[in-house]
Amino acid sequence: MTHAADFFEPMHHFHLDEMRPDASVLLALEPGWRFLLGENGYLDVWFDSTLLL
């Protein structure tokens, strides 16, 4: 499976806040929580205990 060169391009929180202010508040989730933001306002948030191992 191939992805675009910028598939997971790191960015500073400052730039994320400019591009996706809706994601900025999700960064305050407790450890173990994941989130996925998609098109048309799609948001999924879930707990993944494997992140805490």
Where exactly are the structural domains of the chain?
A: 29-53
pLDDT of 6 > 80? The answer is no
Cα–Cα distance, 28 to 33 (Å, whole number): 10
- The encoded tokens of residue 46 equal 């879930």
pLDDT digits (tens, 9 = 90+) for 21-43: 888 889 999 999 999 988 898 99
pLDDT top residue among 29 and 17: 29
This model's pTM is above 0.75: no
Query: Residue 36: its pLDDT value, please?
Result: 92
Percentage of the chain lying above the pLDDT 90 cut: 42
Cα–Cα distance, 7 to 48 (Å, whole number): 22
